[in-house]
Chains A and B, each alone.
Chain A
Amino acid sequence: MSAAPVVLAATLPPPQTPPVEYSSISPILIVLGLAFVGILVEAFAASSARRAIQPVLAVLGFVAAFVAVVLLHSRRATLVSGALAIDGPTLFMQGTILLFAVLAVMLVAERRLDSSGGAIVAAAAITPGEPGSTAMQTSKAMQTEVYPLMAFSVAGMLLFVGSNDLLVMFIALEILSLPLYLLCGLARRRRLLSQEAALKYFLLGAFSSAFFLYGVAMIYGFAGTVRLGEIADATGTVGENDLYLYLGVALLAVGFFFKIGAAPFHSWTPDVYQGAPTPITAFMAAGTKVAAFGALLRVFYVALGGLRWDWRPVIWGVAILTMIVGAVLALTQRDIKRMLAYSAIAHAGFLLVGLAGTNADGLSGSMFYLVTYGFTTIAAFAVVSLVRTGDGEASDLSQWQGLGRTSPMLAGIFAFLLLALAGIPLTSGFTGKFAVFQAAISGDATPLVVVALVCSAVAAFFYVRVIVLMFFSDPPADGPVVVTQPSLTYATAGVGAIVTLLLGVVPQPLLDLASHAAASGFVR
Chain B
Amino acid sequence: MSAGLPTVLAAATPEHGGPVHYAAASGAFSLTWLLIVLPLAGAAVLLLGGRRTDRFGHIVGTLAAAASFVVGLVVFFALVGKNGDERAFSQHLFAWVPVNDFQVDVGLLVDQLSIVFVLLITGVGTLIHIYSIGYMAHDPNRRKFFAYMNLFLASMLLLVLGNNFLVLYAGWELVGLSSFLLIKFWEYKPAAATAANKAFYMNRVGDVGLALAIMFMFATLGSTNYDDVFTAAAGGVLGYGILTAIALLLLLGACGKSGQFPLQAWLPDAMEGPTPISALIHAATMVTAGVYLIARAAPIFNETQAARTVVLIIGAVTLVIGCVIGCAYDDIKKVLAYSTVSQIGYMFLAVGLGPAGYALGIAHLLAHGFFKAGLFLGSGSVIHAMKDEQDMRKYGGLWKYMKVTWVTFGLGYLAIIGLPPFSGFFTKDKIIETAFAKGGTSGTIYGLVALLGAGITAFYMTRLFLMTFHGKPRWESTSRIGSADPAGTPEGENAQHPHESPATMTLPMIVLAVGSVAAGALFIVGGTLSDFLAPVLGHHAGEHHGLDPWVVTLLTLVVSVGGLAGAFLRYQVRPVAAVAPTDAEVSPLTVAARHDLYANTFNEAAFMIPGNYLTRFLVWFDKIIVDGLVGGTAAAIGGLSGRLRRTQTGYVRTYALSMLGGTILVIGALLLVRVG
| A residues in contact (CB < 8 Å) with B | 199-200, 203-204, 207-208, 211, 242-243, 246-247, 249-251, 253-254, 257-258, 263-265, 267-268, 270-271, 310-311, 313-314, 317-318, 325, 328-332, 458, 461
Contacts of B659 in A (CB 8 A): 204, 207-208, 254, 258, 264-265, 267
Assess the A246–B655 pair: CB atoms within 8 A: no
Q: Are A458 and B637 in contact (CB under 8 A)?
A: yes
* Known contacts A264-B661, A264-B662, A314-B666, A331 near B673 by CB under 8 Å: no
Distance (whole angstroms) from the CB of A329 to the closest CB of chain B: 6
Q: How far is the CA of A229 from the CA of B616 in the complex (A)?
A: 67
CA distance A265 to B673 in the complex (A): 21
Partner-contacting stretch, out of B252-260, B380-388, B646-654 = B646-654
The 5 closest A-B pairs by CB, nearest first: A264-B662, A267-B655, A331-B641, A250-B667, A332-B641
Among candidates B644, B663, B670, B673, residue contacting A211 with C-beta atoms closer than 8 Å: B663
Pairwise interchain contact A311-B670, C-beta atoms closer than 8 A: yes
B637 touching A328, Cβ below 8 Å: yes
| Cβ-defined contact, B652 with A203, below 8 A | yes
Hey, which chain B residues are within 8 Å of A199, CB to CB? Answer: 652
Residues of A within 8 Å of B642, CB to CB, are: 332
A-B contact pairs, 21 of them (CB 8 A): A204-B652, A207-B656, A246-B667, A247-B667, A247-B670, A250-B667, A257-B662, A257-B666, A263-B662, A264-B665, A267-B658, A267-B659, A310-B674, A313-B673, A318-B666, A328-B641, A329-B641, A331-B637, A331-B638, A332-B638, A458-B637
Report the bound CA distance from A310 to B670 in whole Å: 7
Give Cα A271–Cα B645 distance, bound, in whole angstroms. 13
Our pick among A203, A250, A267 for the contact of B663 (Cβ within 8 Å) is A250
Chain B residues with Cβ below 8 Å from A257 are: 662, 666
- Shortest Cβ distance from residue B620 to the other chain A in the assembled complex, whole angstroms: 25
CA distance A331 to B637 in the complex (A): 8
Is B219's beta carbon under 8 Å from chain A? no
A314 touches B640 (CB 8 A): no
Nearest-neighbor residue (CB-CB) of B662 within chain A? A264
Q: Which residue of B lies closest to A249 (CB)?
A: B670
Indicate whether B669 reaches chain A with its CB closer than 8 angstroms: yes
User: Separation in Å of the B642 CB from the closest CB of chain A?
Assistant: 5
Q: Give B634's nearest chain A residue, CB to CB.
A: A461
Q: Chain B residues near A310 (CB, 8 Å)?
A: 670, 673-674
Given the contacts A310-B674, A314-B666, A314-B670, A268 and B655 also touching, CB distance less than 8 Å? yes
How far is A301 from B668 in the complex, measured between Cα atoms in Å?
22
- Across the two chains, which residue of chain B brings its CB closest to A314? B669
B671 interfacial contact with A, CB 8 Å = yes
A204 in contact with B662 given A246-B674, A331-B638 (CB within 8 Å): no
Within 8 A of A (CB), among B603-656: 634, 637-638, 640-642, 644-645, 647-648, 650, 652, 654-656
Other 18 A-B pairs with CB < 8 A, given A204-B659, A264-B665: A203-B656, A204-B652, A204-B656, A207-B656, A207-B659, A243-B671, A246-B673, A250-B667, A267-B659, A271-B648, A310-B670, A313-B669, A314-B673, A328-B641, A329-B644, A331-B641, A332-B638, A332-B645
Give A309 Cβ to nearest chain B Cβ, in Å: 8
Inter-chain contacts of A254 with B (CB < 8 A): 659, 662-663, 666
Collect the chain A residues with CB atoms within 8 Å of residue B673's CB.
Answer: 246, 310-311, 313-314
Q: Which residues of the partner chain B approach A204 to less than 8 Å between Cβ atoms?
A: 652, 655-656, 659
Measured between alpha carbons, how far is A208 from B669 in the docked complex, in Å? 19
Q: Bound complex: CA of A247 vs CA of B666, how far in Å? A: 9
Residues of B within 8 A of A258 (CB): 659
B661 nearest CB neighbor, chain A only: A264
A162 to B213, CA, bound (A): 64
Q: Pick the contact of B648 from A247, A249, A250, A329 — CB < 8 Å?
A: A329
B658 to chain A: which residues have CB within 8 Å?
Answer: 264-265, 267
- Specify which chain A residues have a CB less than 8 angstroms from the CB of B652 in the assembled complex: 199-200, 203-204
Q: How far, in Å, is A257 (CB) from chain B's closest CB?
A: 7
Smallest beta-carbon distance B631→chain A, Å: 12
Complex alpha-carbon distance, A254 and B656, angstroms: 12
Distance in angstroms from A308 CB to nearest chain B CB is 11
Contacts of B661 in A (CB 8 A): 264
How far does the Cβ of A199 sit from chain B's closest Cβ, in whole Å?
8
Interface class of chain B by DSSP: helix
Interface residues of B (CB under 8 A from A): 634, 637-638, 640-642, 644-645, 647-648, 650, 652, 654-656, 658-659, 661-663, 665-667, 669-671, 673-674
Taking chain A's interface residues, is the majority helix, strand, or loop, or is none over half, making it mixed? helix
A318 to B674, CA, bound (A): 18
A115, chain B: closest CB distance, angstroms: 31
With contact pairs A254-B659, A328-B641, A329-B644 given, residues A271 and B650 touching in the complex (Cβ less than 8 Å): yes
* Interchain CB contact (< 8 A) of A250 among B637, B650, B666: B666
CA distance A243 to B671 in the complex (A): 8
Would you give the shortest CB distance from A76 to chain B, in whole angstroms? 32
A311 to B640 alpha-carbon distance, docked (Å): 29
In the complex, which residue of chain A has the Cβ closest to the Cβ of B658? A264
Q: Are A251 and B637 in contact (CB under 8 A)?
A: no
Nearest to A310 among chain B residues (CB) is B673
Q: How far is the CA of A204 from the CA of B651 in the complex (A)?
A: 11
Please indicate the chain A residues that have their CB under 8 angstroms from the CB of B671 in the complex: 243, 246-247, 250
Task: Give every chain B residue within 8 A of A328 (Cβ-Cβ).
Answer: 637, 640-641, 644
Measured in the bound complex, the distance between the Cα atoms of B643 and A332 in whole Å is 10
Residues of B within 8 A of A330 (CB): 641
Q: Please give, as numbers and ranges, the residues of chain B lying within 8 Å of A270 by CB-CB distance.
A: 648
Q: Which residues of A contact B654 (CB under 8 A)?
A: 267
Of chain B, the residue at the smallest CB distance from A325 is B644
Expressed in whole angstroms, the minimum distance between the Cβ of B284 and any Cβ of chain A is 47
CA distance A268 to B654 in the complex (A): 10
Q: Report chain A residues within 8 Å CB of B645.
A: 329, 332
**Closest chain B residue, CB of each to CB of A201:** B652
CA distance A253 to B654 in the complex (A): 21
Whole-angstrom distance between the Cβ of B669 and the nearest chain A Cβ: 5
**A313, B674: Cα distance in complex, Å:** 12
B576 to chain A, nearest CB (A): 61
- Contact between B644 and A250 (Cβ–Cβ < 8 Å)? no
Docked-complex contact B655 and A251, CB < 8 angstroms: no
In the assembled complex, which residues on chain B have CB atoms less than 8 Å from the CB atom of A246? 667, 670-671, 673-674
CB of A273 to closest CB in B, whole Å: 12
Tell me the complex Cα distance, A270–B652, Å. Answer: 13
Q: CA separation between A274 and B29, bound complex, in Å? A: 73
Q: Which residues of A contact B644 (CB under 8 A)?
A: 325, 328-329
CA distance A247 to B662 in the complex (A): 14
Minimum CB–CB distance from B72 to chain A (whole Å) comes to 45
Most buried by A among B645, B655, B665: B655
Residue of A nearest to B663 (CB): A254
Chain A positions within 8 Å of B666 at CB level: 250, 253-254, 257, 314, 318
Q: B648 to chain A: closest CB distance in Å? A: 6
Q: How far is the CB of A513 from chain B (nearest CB, A)?
A: 30
Q: Smallest Cβ distance from A198 to chain B, in angstroms?
A: 12
Please, which residue of chain B has its CB at the minimum distance from the CB of A262?
B662
Least CB separation from B656: chain A residue: A207
Check if B662 sits within 8 Å of A265, measured CB to CB. Answer: yes
By a CB distance below 8 angstroms, the chain A residues around B663 are 211, 250-251, 254
Residue ID in chain B nearest A204 by CB atoms: B655
Complex-state Cα separation, A249 to B668, whole angstroms: 12
Provide the bound-state CA to CA distance between A169 and B652, in Å. 26
B656-A317 in contact (CB<8A): no
**Distance between Cα atoms of A199 and B650 in the complex (Å):** 12
Q: How far is the CA of A472 from the CA of B624 in the complex (A)?
A: 25
Residues of A within 8 A of B634 (CB): 461
State in angstroms the CA–CA spacing of A207 and B655 once bound together: 11
CA–CA, A127 and B640, complex, Å: 38
- Chain B nearest CB from A524 CB (Å) reads 23
Question: Which chain B positions have C-beta within 8 A of A313?
Answer: 669, 673
Q: Which residues of B contact A461 (CB under 8 A)?
A: 634
Chain B proximity of A426: nearest CB distance (Å):
22
Asked if A250 contacts B638 (CB within 8 A), the reply is no
Q: Pick the most buried of A199, A207, A461: most chain B CB atoms within 10 A of its CB.
A: A207
